[in-house]
Amino acid sequence: MSNPPAPRGASRERMLETAIDLMRGFGLSGAGINDLVRESGAPKGSVYHFFPGGKLQIAEEALAAYGPRVRELIVEALAGAEAPPEKVRTLFRAFARRLRSADFSRSCMVGTVGLDLDDSLEPLRQRLASTLDGWADAIAAAFDLGSTRRTRAFAGFVLTAIEGAYVRARVERSSTPFTEAGEWLATLLE
Amino acid sequence: MSNPPAPRGASRERMLETAIDLMRGFGLSGAGINDLVRESGAPKGSVYHFFPGGKLQIAEEALAAYGPRVRELIVEALAGAEAPPEKVRTLFRAFARRLRSADFSRSCMVGTVGLDLDDSLEPLRQRLASTLDGWADAIAAAFDLGSTRRTRAFAGFVLTAIEGAYVRARVERSSTPFTEAGEWLATLLE
């Protein structure tokens, strides 16, 4: 420990935050080492120093930091209303706000990275799947559609709608796909 | 016309098909000129010869070829059943088959490219939005939810579900997100 730990940790953390931001914008193929160096202002050598496993390690650590944040957003939004239809509307309004505040240029890292997957990224794919699974748990905990199986399937469909709304919202530069999805899902609960 | 047109046209078309394939796999950032040259087997100079506008021109032409194919798939699938709930199930089964036959490694070009958009790609964004719009028209034409507005919003939600199911399906390596989405959407029509 000859170096003071604070700046090292801060610089490592800044790189991870830059990675999350780039991946939410452009996926894995848009968050190469060179992009990361340019956007974080870190020297190139320090990327390999902090992340000897390179891009895959960065993506896995970025996802490990990102997943719980979104889960928290989900839990908080769902707690913001009492009636199930209003819970789901509130959730989609929260995502719509999130996207508008990012000026439609950042979306869900699971979506952006998920649509860049190839066979060489199997470990990352599995972590993306676990992340979705954790979010589905958080959604399912807030609803009761009569059976665990049906409630869980509904939670999965909510995630499908969130990921799809992100695609449409970025393409259409509009948060309407979120508010409309919230309405249709609320109808299913009414 | 000193060169015979057939090989030139064939080579241009092969590059476009390669571009569609790469973009469906990895988005815009995964379909660079070098990837295109490597995968299509074309000499690098010929890419700029055929597409002087570079990557953006290639993406726009690829989308112009891709959009009508998916629209045709949508129209055919929706014509494959009589009752509205069964129409929507049939549509999602068609997308599920399409994804399985691509071994979960290719999805919708609007999704993969849409999640790579930045401000410099505004003309491409508008074309992606028009493409979605055309697909929504095709879906809306097959349903009647009481008013044009509501029918159109439903068609939009069907597209949201397709794009989101592609994300989940690639991440989970499963076509279940499609069949389940089809079931929930059928419920909305029942």
Contact B29 A25 (CB under 8 A): no
Contacts of A151 by beta carbon, 8 Å cutoff, 6+ apart: A140, A143, A144, A145
**Greater confidence, B28 or B2?**
B28
Secondary structure element (H or E) that encloses residue A139, with its range: helix A122-140
CA A39 to chain centre: 20
Using a CB-CB cut-off of 8 Å, the residues of chain A touching B159 are 164, 168
Mean pLDDT of chain B: 94
Give pLDDT, residue B54: 92
Using CB atoms, pick whichever of B117, B162, B172 lies closest to residue A170.
B117
B162 interfacial to chain A (CB closer than 8 Å): yes
Residue A86 is which amino acid? E
Q: How does pLDDT run across B12-39, given as a tens digit for each residue?
A: 999 999 999 999 999 998 898 999 999 9
Using a CB-CB cut-off of 8 Å, the residues of chain A touching B166 are 115, 164
A134 interfacial to chain B (CB closer than 8 Å): no
- The whole-angstrom separation of Cα B106 and Cα B24 is 5
What percent of chain A has pLDDT above 70?
A: 95
In total, the C-beta contacts within 8 angstroms joining chain A to chain B are 153
CB A48 within 8 A of CB A69: no
What mean pLDDT comes out for the span B65-86? 98
Query: What is the pTM (predicted TM-score) of this model?
Result: 0.95
- The whole-angstrom separation of Cα A99 and Cα B92 is 27
Contact B167 A171 (CB under 8 A): no
CB B91 within 8 A of CB B158: yes
Residue B12, helix vs strand vs coil: helix
Using a CB-CB cut-off of 8 Å, the residues of chain B touching A126 are none
Q: Above 90 in pLDDT, residue B111?
A: yes
For chain A, the straight-line distance linking the first and the last C-alpha, in angstroms and rounded, comes to 60
Residue A92 is which amino acid? F
Helices (H), chain B: 5-26, 33-40, 44-50, 54-78, 84-101, 109-114, 122-140, 148-172, 176-189
Q: Above 90 in pLDDT, residue B42?
A: no
Confidence label for B4 from pLDDT (cuts 50, 70 and 90): very low
Q: Above 60 in pLDDT, residue B7?
A: no
Contact A157 B128 (CB under 8 A): no
Closest approach of chain A CAs to the CA of B149, in angstroms?
Answer: 12
Q: How does pLDDT run across A70-87, given as a tens digit for each residue?
A: 999 999 999 999 999 999
Distances (CA, A) of A117 to A39, A169, A188, B106, B170: 23, 22, 32, 9, 8
Burial of B147 (0-12, 13-18, 19+ CB in 10 A): exposed
B123 interfacial to chain A (CB closer than 8 Å): no
Closest approach of chain B CAs to the CA of A12, in angstroms?
Answer: 25
Pick from A27-36, A139-148, A167-176: least confident: A27-36
Q: Residue A48's CB: how many other CB atoms inside 10 A?
A: 12
Confidence label for B178 from pLDDT (cuts 50, 70 and 90): very high
Mean pLDDT of chain A: 94
What mean pLDDT comes out for the span B52-71? 96
What mean pLDDT comes out for the span B122-130? 98
Using CB atoms, pick whichever of B29, B119, B159 lies closest to residue A27.
B29
Contact B118 A157 (CB under 8 A): no
Contacts of B177 by beta carbon, 8 Å cutoff, 6+ apart: A156, A160, B164, B165, B168, B169
The total domain count for chain B is 1
Domain at A130, CATH number: 1.10.357.10
Contacts of A104 by beta carbon, 8 Å cutoff, 6+ apart: A169, A170, A173, A174
Q: How does pLDDT run across A3-54, given as a tens digit for each residue?
A: 444 455 678 999 999 999 999 999 998 898 999 999 998 888 899 999 999 9
Q: Which residues in A63-90 are b (16+ Cβ under 10 Å) and which e? A: beebbeebbebbbebbeebeebbebbbb
Using a CB-CB cut-off of 8 Å, the residues of chain A touching B114 are 167-168, 170-171
Mutate to test the interface with A, among B23, B95, B167, B178 (most CBs of A within 10 A): B167
Q: Above 70 in pLDDT, residue B9?
A: no
Give pLDDT, residue B131: 98
Using a CB-CB cut-off of 8 Å, the residues of chain B touching A117 are 105, 170-171
Using CB atoms, pick whichever of B29, B128, B164 lies closest to residue A160.
B164
CB B178 within 8 A of CB B168: no
Distances (CA, A) of B8 to A33, A81, A166: 37, 62, 39
Structure tokens at A29: 């193929």
What mean pLDDT comes out for the span B160-167? 98
What mean pLDDT comes out for the span A161-172? 98
Contact B26 A26 (CB under 8 A): no
